[in-house]
Structures are given as structure tokens and as C-alpha cells.
Amino acid sequence: MTTCHALLISAPASGQGKTFITAALARAWRNQGLRVQAFKCGPDFLDPMILEVATGRPVYNLDFTMCGENDAEAQLYRAAQDADLIIIEGVMGLYDGTPSSADIAVRFNLPVLLTIDAGGMAQTFGALANGLLSHKPKLIPTGVLANKVGSAGHGKLLQDSLPSHLNWFGALQKNEALSLPERHLGLFRAAEISDLEQKIETAANALMQDLPLPPMVTFNSTTNTTLAQSTPPLLAGKTIAIAKDAAFCFIYQANLDCLTDMGANLVFFSLLHDSALPEADAYWLPGGYPELHLQDISSNLAMKDSLTSAFKANKPILAECGSMMALSASINGEPCFDLLPGVSQIEERLQGLGSLKAVLADGELGAHTFHYGSFTTELPPIASAKTRFGKVENIYQHGPIIASFLHFYFASNPALAAQFFTPR
């Protein structure tokens, strides 16, 4: 076992500013000289990009369905050995989801800090905070932070409304400079927010100068003391080339770790701007925003030729979500790389949402889906997975390509994930 300062940050609902508050707190403690390791509850890609800027460290996900409870335990245990403080951003409201942020907090004895959008309220702030944090008796409340406060006087009203057992972690005033832009899949990518560093630093400096440290938490690992020790070297000597640019960027750090733990050498390239694939044994094309970069995709004929050559050479290619769409004939009628028979479209309504387990011929792999895209094809699926909301997501194979709207979590079954990058 090992101990580390830790807390989970949640809110009454989505849209309360959890990501920015988490980033501000992480930076404030980092500025105190602490090594801060951040996590995100749920399968989100975008919030971790913000938190990575705040902490200067890769960010990991905690999701019992996609990643597994054992993986969460091992990740937290490993982080506690290397960090001074673990900070975890919750998902949605404190009790929303299965498991909820509250369930995760109770499972790992994590103290909870509540951030509340205080616009339009005064003394009700204390009642709301106290009610949420006392609703589950096993929850460990550590304090409250107010967001979008109107003035210093307003902040004093909010602070005074808290019961004595709840610590005040300060307030951020309502200010456009202290908010993050959003689009249809969530926040903008960190790299798209030109003043993100300044926003985070300004918010960190606006918090209490004597910001209290959260309590110490004991972390155990009843499964694997280190994740790498349990990962077979199934990709030893293999080079895997990974697309990473503005359009293709939804990459779990845990997936990169898993591939390297299996012995793979990782190289990165741009589907948008490079004229050829790097030499590699296999290719991973992650999801992202191809619909925002259709001109670059349709005009990169050299990359299209290179992808075709890799396909003809039977090089394994894993294409997830936006990359599956980019490998189809077209997106919204605009020509794409045209390796998969079928066409793609961005729809007005959400088409898929939820964490799940994908059952393939040789086992089960954690995954999640969140997209507005559709893919119309005559390819028969080699497997299908269903979210808890009943949405079916297909997995397709076309030559050496495996493609799906699913984003896979390799560490949930490394041996199965290795098959994606092994010639078929």
C-alpha cells in the first residue's frame, strides 16, 4: 500500500465548470512545488488534454465499464507512488451515471470537493452543497469551491452559507477569460485554445493563496503492483505508427503505455499533412474531428496513395471512429481516402454514446462510443456491441483494416488488442 494526498472534484451537474476548476486547482498545487497527477472519470478524451496542460503530466481515465475496476485500482496505486497529489475530475453530476463519481469516490475512499456554479444564488449555495455531500453517508466531504461568482461580496455570502464541517476552497468570478470554449463533442482541444496556459495560470492565482491540501488517502493494489509487469511482450520488435494531428487526436495515454509495455516502438505522423506513411509494421488511426478538416483530407492524394500501398501490402490498420469515416469514400459528400467501401455523414443528432464491452471472436475488450457520425456500407460486421442505451455499434473488417465507431481501451485485454496490430 502507499499513501498520497488525493481528492475527486464533482458538481451538481454537467456545465458547472469542473474541468477548468480541476485545472486551476491542479496548477495552484503544482505552483506550490507539488507533483500533481490528474485523472478523468469516464472515457473522455478532451478534458484530459486540458488537465495535461495544467499538470505537465499525461492524464489517465477511470471508467469501471471500459477500463475495469482492477485497472482503476492499479492506475491509482501506480500514481500514488510517483505523485504528491492525485486530483480526479468527476463526470456529469456527483450521483449521475453507473457507476457515478460518488460511487468511484466511495470505492477508493476519495475525499470529494464540490464545485458549484453560484450564479443566481446566495445562501442556497450552502444548503445545496451540504445536501449533495451528505446524500451518501459513506462519502468523505472535503470542501466546496464556488464558480462564476458575481463579486467579492457575493463570494462572502456563499462562504458564510457553508456548514462548519465543509472547507471553503475559494471562488472564481464570472469572467469570459476564465472559461473554456466548446463544440459538439465537448471542449475544444487544448491545442486549439491559444491562451489556455494564461487562462489556467490566471485562475490558479485567483484561488486562495493558502489553498489547503486535501487529506491523505491510502491506495492498495490487490491485482498488479505495476501494470507493465502483467502485460505480455506480444509486440516486441514491432513498430506501430500512430496518426496524431488536429483531426485525429483521440488517444488514451493508457493505450500508448499498453503498446510500449507489450514491446512496441511507437512513431507518430499526420494524416492531414504528411505525404506518406512512416515505415511500420502496423498503423493505428484514432478518432477525432475529420469533419473539420475535409479540405486537407481530400487534397492529400499522396497520403491516399500511401494508405492504399499499406493496404495492398496487408499491413494491419486499426481505424477508430473519425478515422473509419476518413477511410470511407466520403464524409458529407466530400471525397476521403476511399479504402473502406461505404460513405460517412455527420448527423444533426447524437448517434452513439456509452461505455461497453466489445465481444470479438477471441475475447472481450473495453470500449466506448460518442459520435454524431454515420457510416453506410455493405460490409458485414465481424462483431457488434451494444451500449446500455440499446445502440448497436458494428466492428468491420476489410482486408487488413479493422474499423468501428468504437474507441478501444487496450489495457482491458492487451492480448486481444495486440491482434489489431498483427497481420491477419
CA pair distance 372, 238, nearest whole angstrom = 34
Q: Where are the alpha helices (DSSP H) in 171-300?
A: 196-206, 253-261, 294-299
Q: Give the DSSP letter of residue 125.
A: H
The single residue of 41, 249, 258, 321 carrying the catalytic annotation is 321
Going along 15-156, which residue ranges are E strands? 36-41, 60-62, 85-89, 111-117, 140-149
Question: Hey, what's the cell of 74?
Answer: 492499479
Active-site residue flag, 41? no
Nearest CA to 86 among 66, 60, 115?
Answer: 60
Q: Give the three-state DSSP class for 424.
A: coil
Positive or negative: CA dihedral 258, 261, 266, 268: positive
Nearest CA to 288 among 324, 252, 245, 248?
Answer: 248
DSSP string, 352-420: EEEEEEEEETTEEEEEEEEESEEEE--PPEEEEEE-TTS-EEEEEEETTEEEESPEE-GGGSHHHHHHT
CA pair distance 82, 60, nearest whole angstrom = 14
Number of alpha helices (DSSP H) and beta strands (DSSP E) in the chain = 12, 26
CA pair distance 317, 319, nearest whole angstrom = 6
Q: What angle do CA 244, 247, 252 make, to 5 degrees?
A: 50
**What residues form DSSP beta bridges with 370?**
353
- Distance of CA 405 to CAs 82, 233, 285, 356, Å? 35, 27, 12, 12
Nearest CA to 148 among 123, 115, 119, 122?
Answer: 119
- Distance of CA 38 to CAs 7, 90, 227, 234, 346, Å? 10, 11, 18, 29, 32
Question: In angstroms, how far is CA 78 from the centroid of its own chain?
Answer: 18
CA pair distance 93, 135, nearest whole angstrom = 13
Which positions are catalytic?
321
